[in-house]
Structure 1
Amino acid sequence: MTTMLVAISGGHLAQLHLLAPRIAAGEEVVWMTDDTAQSRSLLEGQRVVHVPTRPPRDTIGVLRDTRIARRAIAEHDVDRVVSSGAQIALSALIPALVRRVPFSYVESATRVTGLSTTGRLIDRIPSVRRYVQYPNRTSDRWGYALSVFDGYRVETAANAAGGDGSEAAAAIRRAVVTVGGNGEYGFRRLLESAARALPDDAEVLWQTGSTDVSGLAIDARPAVPSAELSAALARADVVIGHAGTGTALAALAAGKVPVLAARSVGHGEHVDGHQDDLAAFLADRGLAIVRPADEITADDLFEASRRRVIRRDDLAPVSI
């Protein structure tokens, strides 16, 4: 049994990588994604088929990438395809339908209250097995089987004490600030806010994506390999990031409750407001401290540093 796992770099790939042991337990796996620092690091040593990195909603690109997917399905004798999106899912879907290969689509956990553009298109294909990642979002067309947020719980450090701004500053020695890997949209407001809130002497990894960082006194890096980022997250006293699924999951996997800010359509930081939904969900469950991008404070960082995240490692495989 060979399963092809299909996802674009960023939060989509991070989610599918986290879900893969439960989705394809004991099976041969081949990945289809774009060639980025994240995908190379995350999927090192695995079978990977690369497609070009394309801008969102690139219809022509989707059609061109169907040829890559068709060859991959044939050459690897793929028995089924599972995707978490985004538009790369459509590139794999077309040849899968032609070859009658079963196709399952897991909507992004970012989509708390509605479907993504890809999800809305997938919704029109009767033969696709469709899943959401929130039990309260099921319908006669969309089921629930698993979620990337399964099994997490938050604890407060036993020796933590309340504090004022000076204590907050003293508590933060290492930090990670990340705006994710979105190549189209910057998030300068978050970087500026984090720079104000962090102590001047803190050791900070700044992962800035396509953000214009001119004039900011930071050691900006547009992209950071997953292994390096994971190591930095594990060492960090606090994680500050945009409210993207990949960023949230990376922080949680490192045992950190992140300080998150949702990107704003009004400020030209994203195509829609779905990050607000994810941020609200995570805040409601205590899995993140959420603030407007302009209003992150040293006390927010101190509060986040007092919390630890633990995840069960005995989650059962699922059939989708």
Structure 2
Amino acid sequence: MIFVTVGTHEQPFNRLIEKMDELVEKGEIKEKVVVQYGFSTYEAKHCEMHKIMSFDEMQQTFKDARIVITHGGPSSFVEALQYGKVPIVVPRQLEFNEHVNDHQVDFTKLIAERMNNIIPIYDIDDLAATIANYDSIVKTKNSGESSNNKKFNEDLSEIVDNMIKIN
């Protein structure tokens, strides 16, 4: 199962949900796709859709998923990391009116470079190949037993602190 979560930001993230629906429709994704869509307005026809999920439902879905795909909000991809998953992170972009600026793009790049424990997607057309090659891509990432969660959390806190100081 693939779990897609776009968080609860009030701007829709239809671009990601549309792409997932398209990939399932075309048969490029053959497994079940569960989507937490928040304020998105696109109604996927080929995915199981949930506007909001309870805390327990989210936790169980993170645990059960083979692949987790998130927006660039840190709490979503950190949640996946806590369950030993290497998330595919598709940051919301200002260009598509998905957020107020490109901070998710900047943050995703920073974490991908410094931590190497997420799989960033900046061009939605790269998503199909990334999902198809997920198992081999994960082997190149810092994850699971080799991951140091305490160090990650410390480094993440430092990055966030520095970003706040800059702004």
TM-score between both structures, scaled by the size of structure 2 = 0.73
Contact 2:112 2:120 (8 Å CA) reproduced: yes
Q: CA RMSD in A?
A: 2.4
* Residues 1:249 and 2:78 aligned together: yes
Tell me which of 309, 312, 316 is aligned to 2:144: 309
Aligned residue for 1:206, secondary structure, equals: strand
Tell me which of 167, 170, 177 is aligned to 2:4: 177
* Residues 1:294 and 2:124 aligned together: yes
Tell me which of 77, 87, 95 is aligned to 1:258: 87
Aligned residue for 1:220, secondary structure, equals: strand
Contact 1:251 1:258 (8 Å CA) reproduced: yes
TM-fit CA distance, 1:215: 5.7
Q: State the match for 1:188 in structure 2.
A: 14
TM-fit CA distance, 1:205: 1.6
Q: State the match for 2:51 in structure 1.
A: 222
Q: State the match for 2:107 in structure 1.
A: 278
Contact 1:188 1:212 (8 Å CA) reproduced: yes
Contact 2:17 2:44 (8 Å CA) reproduced: no
CA distance in structure 1 between the aligned counterparts of 2:122 and 2:75, rounded to whole angstroms? 19
Against the structure 1 CA distance between its residues 254 and 197, is the aligned structure 2 distance closer, same or farther, given a 3 Å change threshold? farther
What amino acid does structure 2 have at the position aligned with 1:175? I
TM-fit CA distance, 1:312: 4.3
What amino acid does structure 2 have at the position aligned with 1:220? M
- Deviation per CA, 1:16-40: give whole Å up to 9, x if none: xxxxxxxxxxxxxxxxxxxxxxxxx
Taking only the aligned residue pairs, the percentage that are identical comes to 24
Structure 1 runs not aligned, ≥5 long: 1-173
- Deviation per CA, 1:144-203: give whole Å up to 9, x if none: xxxxxxxxxxxxxxxxxxxxxxxxxxxxxx110110122x11101011222334555412
Larger radius of gyration: 1
* Residues 1:232 and 2:67 aligned together: no
How many residues align? The count is: 142
CA distance in structure 1 between the aligned counterparts of 2:144 and 2:72, rounded to whole angstroms? 17
Higher strand share: 1
- Deviation per CA, 1:279-317: give whole Å up to 9, x if none: 1022213211111252243331244344343444777xx
CA distance in structure 1 between the aligned counterparts of 2:102 and 2:85, rounded to whole angstroms? 24
Aligned residue for 1:297, secondary structure, equals: helix
What amino acid does structure 2 have at the position aligned with 1:222? K
Contact 1:208 1:222 (8 Å CA) reproduced: yes
Contact 1:240 1:258 (8 Å CA) reproduced: yes
CA distance in structure 2 between the aligned counterparts of 1:255 and 1:218, rounded to whole angstroms? 24
Aligned residue for 2:75, secondary structure, equals: helix
Against the structure 1 CA distance between its residues 196 and 289, is the aligned structure 2 distance closer, same or farther, given a 3 Å change threshold? farther
Aligned residue for 1:176, secondary structure, equals: strand
Contact 2:105 2:122 (8 Å CA) reproduced: no
TM-fit CA distance, 1:260: 1.2
Aligned residue for 2:94, secondary structure, equals: coil
TM-fit CA distance, 1:237: 1.2
Contact 1:193 1:293 (8 Å CA) reproduced: no
Structure 2 runs not aligned, ≥5 long: 155-167
TM-score between both structures, scaled by the size of structure 1 = 0.40
